Amino acid sequence: MSVALFEPYTLRSLTIPNRVWMAPMDQYSAEPSGPDAGVPNDWHFAHYAARATGGTGLILVEATAVSPEGRISPADLGIWNDTQARALSRIARFLKEHGTVPGIQLGHGGRKASTKRPWEGRGPVGPGEHGWQPVGPSPVPFAEDHPVPTELTAEQIAEIPGQFAEAARRARGAGFEVVEVHGAHGYLISSFLSPYANRRTDAYGGSFENRTRLALDVVDAIRGAWPEELPVFFKISATDWLEDAGWTADDTVRFARLLREHGVDLLDVSSGGNGGPADIPVGPGYQVPFAARVKAETGLPVAAVGLITESGQAEKIVANGEADAVLLGRELLRDASWARRAARELGAVTHAPVPYAWAI
């Protein structure tokens, strides 16, 4: 019996061994300053290696900042220098050697940058805690306890695509085979997309075309720096969950068509995160319909995320054509070998290291 969740999947020249993929999840575990700022350490290596040996088909390394001020917290990973890229190459190499496709998410925290690690409480950190002044499309803070971001000038915005392109070059040099643009959850690119966070009146604000300009410029810059034969993903918040005030599911479908024209190969479909009085109906698979709609209306491949926890649930999503793959987050934190367990439950086979072969 064929099990859709464990069928290989090909994008451009790259074949991913199964449809169980790991979503980018910040570990907030790098040094905040000094020569090792943003550099992955033994924690990061062990974290990703465990999910690779657990049979995950593709691992997207957590949001990795394209500039120092692009980190979400001072303890985030970065890829703005060669020291960081060399350390990341160890992770990419191990993943590939053990049958997992190595991917990386590139991001910029924007108005949600310079924040505390979650276990230290929410809210911003100041200069005395290795913090900095966040930036955004407009002086609209993410929340009441967050600072008003500095509004980027048009000249500063024009520099951002180059930062993403240089990060993509380093990522490929480090051995990654998938690069994902973080355009979700209210971080910099997402905040430009959303009329809730973007109140500009210049070429980067106002109309749909203007609000999507930076995102498309970033995609174009990355596509120009990234090998033609390898895929580019884009992560999006399908809706801000803000009635008549933010980005909508209709906007996402319209934007997905543009992303496909600009060389994006797959849309990673999440939702929310831009702030405001959002009422989000969280439940098992609550974001899957957004992915399914994009796939049905645009033909762009999609990955579904959001409270996907059971093997049968994941299999149904892929088998029914609602998504081409599932991206697991917290469930893979709970169980690094979720993919191999799911394969057993569904009567399929997934890859495993030779020393683990007797457990398959």
- pLDDT of 169 > 80? The answer is yes
Which band of pLDDT confidence, cut at 50, 70 and 90, is reported for residue 122? Answer: confident
Q: How confident is the model at residue 338 (pLDDT cuts 50, 70, 90)?
A: very high
Task: Using pLDDT thresholds of 50, 70 and 90, give the confidence band for residue 358.
Answer: confident
* pLDDT of the residue at 355: 87
Map out the domains of the chain as residue ranges. 4-359
Q: Give the list of residues 6+ apart from residue 115 with CB closer than 8 angstroms, or none.
A: 72, 73, 109, 122, 123, 124, 125, 146
Per-residue model confidence (pLDDT) at position 121: 87
pLDDT for residue 359: 73
> Residue 8 CA to chain centroid, in angstroms?
21
Contact of 305 with 268, CB cutoff 8 Å: yes
| Three-state SS at 11 | strand
Query: pLDDT tens digits, residue range 4-13?
Result: 999 999 999 9
In this model, does residue 360 exceed pLDDT 70?
no
Identify the pLDDT of residue 244: 81
Q: Which CATH number fits domain 4-359: 3.20.20.70, 1.20.1260.10, 3.30.450.20, 3.40.50.720?
A: 3.20.20.70
* The predicted structure's pLDDT at residue 1: 67
Mean pLDDT across 310-323: 98
Percent of the chain with pLDDT over 70: 99
Q: Which pLDDT does position 185 carry in this prediction?
A: 97
Tell me the mean pLDDT in the region 89-111: 98
Please write the tens of the pLDDT for every residue from 40-72.
Answer: 999 999 999 999 999 999 999 999 999 999 999
pLDDT of residue 277: 82
Report pLDDT for 192.
Answer: 98
Q: For residue 175, which of 103, 68, 251 has the smallest C-alpha distance?
A: 103
Which residues are the active-site residues?
187
Q: Tens digit of pLDDT for each residue in 269-301?
A: 999 999 888 888 899 999 999 999 999 999 999
Confidence check: pLDDT of 102 > 70:
yes
Provide the H-helix boundaries in 26-81. 42-53
The full DSSP string for 112-179 is G-SB--GGG-SSB--GGGT----EESSS--SSTTSPPPEEPPHHHHHHHHHHHHHHHHHHHHTT-SEE
Residue 357 predicted with pLDDT over 80: no
In whole numbers, what is the pLDDT of the chain averaged over residues?
Answer: 96
pLDDT tens profile 192-224: 999 999 999 999 999 999 999 999 999 999 999
